[in-house]
Structure 1
């Protein structure tokens, strides 16, 4: 299939290729009427400007680097797709990579950096910050010089905790993720604070287990946990579904014999039987906020870095058995 070139548009418009280039790149010396006609033809002929030509013409790059820790997670991919769409709508392109390459990220190829890696190490953060390019993190800031657009973990866990607290099942188990995860640490601090508020003198650590954010780990733990606990506050959907599997193996029915909440609103959680009550976030809102904050940072780098928190949403399905007068929403 033939790709439209500047020469094709020039031939159709009856002007030179240089005039077409000037018109499409905003240069002076082209009348408003000619510019509009060329822009209309470019749209009708589905012209896609060559990226290297754009960079040379505008003397800046429209490419943003998206640093991810994994391309496998449903949540990661949904957010990555949304951010790509939002950047494209504003004239940028997002290129995702899953390795930190200082020579690449620090080159003139990228206009800035979006760090999708929720578990980025302190050493990696220092390496990124030394590059000096406009950067947005998707976790809470590690310094007053860091911009971020992060999920509100404290509000999210409060929603999940209060919901499962309405269950008839009172023997609560908290299933956490990796200790290296900042998101996990924020969720854990909130969950334990709420539990100790409701159970003065109790040791919240005694009901807390490390599920590593992994389905397989939670499934292995379930063989013993299901003998002691009947309510599970899980810090992601994968671990919640690991408990589902363990319950099935022990002939227990989720939503009747045990109650479970998750976190992430994953596709598997939506299609589980019964559906998993979980925490979700408006991915599109998150993506728009990321792009807006990046534009603010890129346009006015002297403005102090900002932190934006994305509000959580409680998605109620059938994985909780509610007590009398509580949570008839399930």
Structure 2
């Protein structure tokens, strides 16, 4: 592909959710078009209806059958029409087989284009895990689905809110299972991948990483649990021996203060889903984004769900989606050598 700025793919998300609406609301920011062109993967009629709901009269929706046909002009939203949704059968705020199948197909098509470098990054709008499973796609979330579609083994979730970055050792498993997964090798893989990603994706030199403990007080020398002693500390020591600037484990109730207010680390590593998510959502609920590490493609998404309760009303906030698009542009420009204006 020969172009002067990155082409960002955006997936539809669940058509019964707020995804199509917040995508269009975000793309009303005309400044985005100075540094990227956009191709939305999904059903054209879903987006035409979403445009009416959010009164996006300033946007020009363009139906295309081939990504190479995309129109590069301000406020032009190219829709790679999958023609896979009967909008009369969509009930806002309700999971369905139709919604799960349509959202899966949008993701799969976007990934195919990203793997062949026809698009330079993907921003995924929120899907419903329930809809996905109803349609027969048994994945706990986007991250696991994308890992499968790209043949990737070690994929981790990084949450980003401005400068604040948190990577998770475990994500979509029960707390009981998460504890069982806190093993030296898993923690070590997470540290290595975080370090590599901070350098390659964000262009940081010699980044600093802080690792959280699992137990209260990071185990208090084994009094409140021995995972730190048996699994986490050995992983940190081995990573440090490889030249990675990593320290910890720090007590979970103080490490995020160190990371956010003292800016002691370039990224923090959390042991499980809520440990990291709560920290990021406390400081960046309206702008937090999810970046998948370990994929051969760039994938970013808003760090929230379908917002069922506001679907079809046009009132869901586009803030996190806008931040996800901006980060996708930044990372794609770095990776493919585009100059940002």
Coarse TM-score class (shorter-chain normalised): under 0.3
TM-score by length of 2: 0.27
TM-score by length of 1: 0.28
Instruction: State which structure, 1 or 2, has the greater radius of gyration over its C-alpha atoms.
Output: 1
By relative contact order (CA 8 Å, sep 6+), the higher-ranking structure is 2
